[in-house]
Every structure is written in C-alpha cells, then in structure tokens.
Structure 1
Amino acid sequence: MNTSVVTDSLEETQANVNREVWSTLPEVGYPVIPDTIHEKLLERYCYSVSYNKFTRQPNWVMWQLTGEHVIKRKEGVWNEYREDTELPSEIRSTLEDYASSGYDRGHMCPGGDCNWDDEGRDETFVLSNMCPQHPKLNRGDWKEIEMACRKWAKQYGNIYIVCGPIFLKSQQHERIGLNQIPVPEAFFKVVLCTDSSKPKGIGFICRNTDGNRKKDFYVNSIRQVERVTGYRFFPNLEDSIKSLVYDMDDINNW
C-alpha cells in the first residue's frame, strides 16, 4: 500500500471542511506537508485534522488549548469510540481493525483537552483522530505529555499543539485489521506558546514502544521535528517569533 500520493485539490479539501471552529488556528497556520502525501482537511469544533486516506489515519491533528479550557474540564471517563461517518467507508478505519490488535486507539487530540464542551469531546472519539498506539505509551508517557500541555495552558493562558504519527520510510510497517492499517513507528508533538511575555516552543518524538522515561528523553526542538517529519509548522508565525522559539529544546524553560 502506497502511503504517498498527490493531495486532494484545494476545491476538494475545502469541500470537506465540516463547520466553523471556535479557535484561532488560522492565525498561526495549519502545517504544510509535502505534496506527495495525501490529505483531506477536516475541521472539528475543537481541533482540525489532515486525514490520509491511504493510512486511514491523520497526518496531523492541531488544536488550541487555553487555561480557561483546562479550568472548565469536566471529570469523567468516556468510551465512545466510533467510525468517522463523515468519511466514505472505503477510506476510513473501523473498530474491528483495532480489536485484538494489541494496540490502543490512541487519541491524537485527547478527549481531556476538549471536554469543556460536550460536542467537542465527543468528536475526539472518532477514529480519524486515532492511530494504533502501544498501550504503555498511550497510557504512560504520551499521557504525561498531554498532562504537561494542560499545565502549560493553565500557566501561560494559551498554547497551540500539533501531533501525529511518524512512518519511517526505511521500514516495512506492521499492519492491523482487515483494512491493513499501518502502525506508526513513532509519534511527534510540537507545542507553541505565543501569549506569554517570552514566546516558547518545544517538540517531542516518541517511539511507538513501551518506553517509561522522563519527558525530557523525548524532547526535540520544533525545527528538529520539522526535519524528521518533513512538515512545516505554524507557517503564518512571524519570523521574529520563529527565530526565538524554533530551536528551543530545554523543557526546563517551561
């Protein structure tokens, strides 16, 4: 299965934008990815997705998290995983693909970042926001990074987050389910804060394994994550801010 093809036309991508989002993601800009990678843009209320019909997973998921969202978070446990029926059946993953696979349905945008809004939280449980993720990563180090992001949003007032899978070109991917969903070899996350007196940036790359390490083990700069993924993050960000934040790789600055 070839995971790299020409992207949908601009008209087709725009036709698949679902509805207005509350956030200011366009101010910093959606990630720019190589034109050899298929993408379909899906805009949810709390997050936006670049969806790849060949991997049946996101290329990236992006959202804005504010301190107010963290304060308004509702407690509870939800288990409302479902197929994304806004996508044609021939390009979407199914619950059966993940069943007994040994991998979690790993949220990219976590429900806990959107459960200040019931509809927004529910939208995080569609499989177009999921990737096959090692259970110990999903429930361990990846979750710890998610919790750190909430702490930073509360501390600084507003952050932008982008994350997604990494498929290594040099490896033959493990596959799961009837639809032969490829398992990512790693995941990336980049975090940007522009609302503090001193802008901040940080990146993470986590191998899709059972690692149990401190967060600084995964730390990279945003520029390093760009090199690994081939993506260009926050394209609308002013060059003066980029020059300050893109090479930051010290989590102690957060």
Structure 2
Amino acid sequence: MARRKAKKKDSKGLLYFILLVCAAFIGYGPLSNAWKSGLIHLDRLPQSIKSAVQTSEPETQTNLSTTQGLEIPAPLKGINETILKRKGYTVSYNRTLNLPNWVAWELNRDKLIERESRTDKFLPDPDLPESEAVTTDDYKGSGWDRGHMCPAADNRWHWRAMQESFYMTNICPQHHNLNRGDWKELEDRCRVWAEQEGRIYIVCGPILYNQKHRTIGKEHKVTVPEAFFKVILCADSRPPRAIGFIYKNTSGNHPLDSYINSVDQVERITGIDFFPALPDDVEKQVEAKCDWKQWN
C-alpha cells in the first residue's frame, strides 16, 4: 500500500514537471492570460509554476509603480497654479479662487498604519503670504464644512503628514451632508482598495462650472465649488485600472456606483490631464474604462 502512494506522488510530481517545461516553451502565455482573467488561482498551482507565471509579466507593467510622481497631473494651462509639496500629498493651489485645483497622493499599506491621532487643528498655509492665506475664520458662519481633499485619515502614519493635512490649502467649502456622508464613504473605500492592492494613486479636487460662483469669507473670498471629482489609479493590478467619481456639492445619499465616471470623462469636465507619467498606451486604456466590477 505504501508503495502505491509513493508511486502516485511520483506521477503527480512528473505531471507538474511536464507542465512547467511546457510553460517554459510557450512563454507562460496561456497560464498568464488565465491568471489575469481569473480562470485560475495561483494558490492552486505548484510554487514553481506560480513563480513562473508571476515573473512572466511585461516589464512595463511590473515597473509602473516605480515611476516617480505617478499621481501628479500635467501642468495646467491658463489657470492660476502654485505647486506645494507636502509630506503626504501634493497640491496645485489656485491663489485667485483660494481653492486647490487638485490634490494628489499615493496611498499604500504603510500609510494605513495609524501612528498619530487626528489633530482637528486647521491652519493657514505657512508657504503663502499672511495676507493671502485662508484661515478657518473665513468659514465661520458660512454653513459650509471645511472639507478635506486629502483626508486626515490617510495621514495618520506621520505627525507632520497629519498636521499638513489640516492646512487650508487642502480644504474646500463642502456641503455638510456630502462631507460626512457619501464623500467619506469613498474615502473609506479608497483605504480598503489600498489595503487590498498594496498601493493606489489618488487625485481629487473641486469642479467649477461655467457660471457665477458663490464665495464665503470676509477677509479672503473663498470660492464655493459646484461639485468635486476624484480619480483613482491602481498601477499594480493586472492589467492596470483606473476609475473616476463626480459628486455634486449638495446633500444626497446614493450608492457609490451612482457617482462613477471614466477618467476620460472627468478630464473632459475638469480640463485636467491625469496620470501623464503612464506609458501612452496604458494611459489610453485605463482612462477610457470604468468597470465597477473590477473595484467592487
């Protein structure tokens, strides 16, 4: 009986060896394709074949996440823009509107470690002249929340990142129900995606439609956005994918997928070129699609 078991194990090992040799000759193409499409799971394959499939990806794909500044949009044209680099994010600030044009950051598993408590101390940006820097007083009595673009909860990994997340250059007038409701739901979901994927890239900011805008603040006139956008890139997935969201700056309680847009659609509305550091073919592909099934 023992001999039969040994023979059975030898046969199984020989089968795996033959599969590995075949995969080597065909470049792992079918196995890789089956893995990408979800037809097979790597945990069901022998370690030797699993390693072969994982290392058979094209160089452009495996190296995407090593590209510096992958989250940074292209320079804006004809729009007031001051770039401010922070510990946890980068902001393109509009000193005419007293709003960020966009705020961009990388969120990864290390940044999900909560080392700091939330400070709740909103500060004028020290990199702006005192006469220009918006303060929390400009929001008093306005009826609008001080809405974070890069959330404080994404910056609890470092004390300075937490402090800088409360700079007023990272803040927009936001409807209370949106800020504490559907917008927060997307922020929470982004942290789930970062945990699942290991790393994602996020850009968000206000949307100003072609109309007369409301303002708040006595000392500094802060423009009230009509809507907000957020685009998210997962460069490490196979294949890479991206998705966009647009929220009106009003009260509402809707499921997350009701706000979905492709990145291309968000670009058309905002005039911002997102993820320009991606290879052109990858950028074209990921920005045209918004398949919620890949994210849900």
Q: From the CA coordinates, give the structure whose radius of gyration is larger.
A: 2
- Tell whether the 8 Å contact from 1:25 to 1:63 is kept in structure 2 after alignment: no
Q: What is the aligned partner in structure 1 of residue 15 from structure 2?
A: none
* Distance 1:252-1:141 versus aligned 2 partners, 3 A rule: same
Distance in structure 2 (CA, Å) of the matches to 1:25 and 1:49: 19
Amino acid corresponding to residue 98 of structure 2 in structure 1? R
1:89-124 Cα offsets, whole Å, 9 max, x none, are: 232211111011100110000011111111111110
Amino acid corresponding to residue 161 of structure 1 in structure 2? I
Distance in structure 1 (CA, Å) of the matches to 2:208 and 2:98: 13
1:217-248 Cα offsets, whole Å, 9 max, x none, are: 11001110000000101111012321331122
Percent of aligned pairs with the same amino acid: 47
| SS state at 2:229 partner | strand
Distance in structure 2 (CA, Å) of the matches to 1:251 and 1:174: 34
Q: What is the aligned partner in structure 1 of residue 246 from structure 2?
A: 205
Using the TM superposition, give the Cα deviation of residue 172 of structure 1 relative to its aligned residue in structure 2, in angstroms: 1.2
- 1:167 lines up with 2:208 in the alignment: yes
Gaps of 5+ in 2: 1-64
- Tell whether the 8 Å contact from 2:100 to 2:171 is kept in structure 1 after alignment: yes
- CA root-mean-square deviation: 1.7
Amino acid corresponding to residue 172 of structure 1 in structure 2? K
| SS state at 1:146 partner | helix
Gaps of 5+ in 1: 1-22
- 1:36 lines up with 2:78 in the alignment: yes
1:152-184 Cα offsets, whole Å, 9 max, x none, are: 000011100000001111x21111111221100
- Tell whether the 8 Å contact from 1:68 to 1:154 is kept in structure 2 after alignment: no
Using the TM superposition, give the Cα deviation of residue 200 of structure 1 relative to its aligned residue in structure 2, in angstroms: 1.2
Q: What is the aligned partner in structure 2 of residue 83 from structure 1?
A: 124
* Distance 1:40-1:186 versus aligned 2 partners, 3 A rule: same
Using the TM superposition, give the Cα deviation of residue 74 of structure 1 relative to its aligned residue in structure 2, in angstroms: 4.1
Q: What is the aligned partner in structure 1 of residue 217 from structure 2?
A: 177
Query: Of 228, 234, 237, which aligns to 2:269?
Result: 228
Q: What is the aligned partner in structure 2 of residue 8 from structure 1?
A: none
Q: What is the aligned partner in structure 1 of residue 229 from structure 2?
A: 188
Structure 1 runs (4+) deviating above 6 angstroms are: none
1:19-68 Cα offsets, whole Å, 9 max, x none, are: xxxx9774426212542100011000110010110111110000000022
Matches within 5 A, 1:239-250: 239-250=280-291
- Tell whether the 8 Å contact from 2:234 to 2:242 is kept in structure 1 after alignment: yes
Amino acid corresponding to residue 78 of structure 2 in structure 1? T
- Tell whether the 8 Å contact from 1:190 to 1:201 is kept in structure 2 after alignment: yes
Distance in structure 2 (CA, Å) of the matches to 1:24 and 1:78: 32
Q: What is the aligned partner in structure 1 of residue 87 from structure 2?
A: 45
The alignment's TM-score, normalised by the length of structure 2, stands at 0.74
**More divergent stretch after superposition (84-93 vs 153-162):** 84-93
| SS state at 2:193 partner | helix
Amino acid corresponding to residue 100 of structure 1 in structure 2? G
- Tell whether the 8 Å contact from 1:104 to 1:138 is kept in structure 2 after alignment: yes
1:176-234 Cα offsets, whole Å, 9 max, x none, are: 11122110000000000101222110000100001111111110011100000001011
* Pairs aligned (count): 230
Amino acid corresponding to residue 36 of structure 1 in structure 2? G
* Distance 1:91-1:216 versus aligned 2 partners, 3 A rule: same
Distance in structure 1 (CA, Å) of the matches to 2:131 and 2:119: 27
Q: What is the aligned partner in structure 2 of residue 56 from structure 1?
A: 98
- Tell whether the 8 Å contact from 1:50 to 1:61 is kept in structure 2 after alignment: yes
- 1:151 lines up with 2:155 in the alignment: no
Matches within 5 A, 1:92-111: 92-111=133-152
